[in-house]
Amino acid sequence: KDGLARTIKLADEARKQINKIPGIKAYGKDYFISKGANNFDETKLVIKVSNLGITGFDAYKIMRDQFNIQLELSETHLILAVLSIGNTRSDIEKLVAGLKQLSKNYGNQSLKKKAAKFKYQHPETFTRPRVAYHAPKKYVKLKEALNEIAAESVMIYPPGIPLVIPGEVVTKEIVQQINYFLKEDLTVLSDSKDGYIRIIDKEEWEKFDDYKE
């Protein structure tokens, strides 16, 4: 309990320091409650960096490669740092110093890249993952996978949440998202490489009893 209280205090101090850095904003509990959230994990530092003219993806890689700071995840406008009871004040000082240098290097300007906006829609489930796993498969280029049935999971890391799993229909939205994240040079976790995706081979699958029209 004491360790958690100390961690929350460190996170609060970090937010205050980060919010003094030009072009960078660390959101706190009040912000998320005002947006309708029931609560907020105060050990998490949600940090907006896009006013520096870079994306969260850019900031994530810069903080890792130049300052040896491993963040939890990134997206177009934000980065996320998560504190634990093992973190110390020196860790906070290192994070703040890295963000100050980021601000100094990239200035205070609007995001130059066009931000991608995706409306999340739960993919249509054509069949169960287990059935898809055992079905005949083939590899096709991503652009040729539209409306086909995925035979593998495709995840973007961070955070590692699947965009599609076996048995779900590959929609236009999913193809656009994968292409966007590939262009941003994020890690795409899948069994396929070089712009390919594994799908169910419907022609072969029709020969099986578990085929679903």
Determine the Cα angle at 41 with ends 35 and 46, to 5°.
70
Query: Do residues 162 and 168 lie in contact, with contact meaning Cβ atoms separated by under 8 Å?
Result: no
User: What three-state secondary structure class fits 32?
Assistant: helix
Nearest to 92 by CA among 127, 51, 164, 43: 43
User: What three-state secondary structure class fits 178?
Assistant: helix
174: buried, middle or exposed (CB in 10 Å: 19+, 13-18, 0-12)? buried
- In tens, the pLDDT along 135-179 reads 999 999 999 999 999 999 999 876 788 999 999 999 999 998 888
Spatial CB neighbours of 204, under 8 Å, sequence gap ≥ 6: 136
- In tens, the pLDDT along 13-56 reads 999 999 999 999 999 988 998 988 888 999 999 999 999 989 89
- In tens, the pLDDT along 68-126 reads 999 998 888 899 999 999 999 999 999 999 999 999 998 766 656 555 666 667 889 99
Yes or no: domain 129-205 corresponds to CATH 3.90.100.10: yes
Helices 56-67, 89-106: axis angle to 10 degrees equals 120
Q: Where are the domains of the chain?
A: 2-106, 129-205
Pull the structure tokens for residue 32.
């998320």
Q: Is the overall model pTM greater than 0.75, yes or no?
A: no
Query: 2-106 maps to which CATH number?
Result: 3.90.1150.10
User: What three-state secondary structure class fits 106?
Assistant: helix
Pull the structure tokens for residue 49.
């960096």
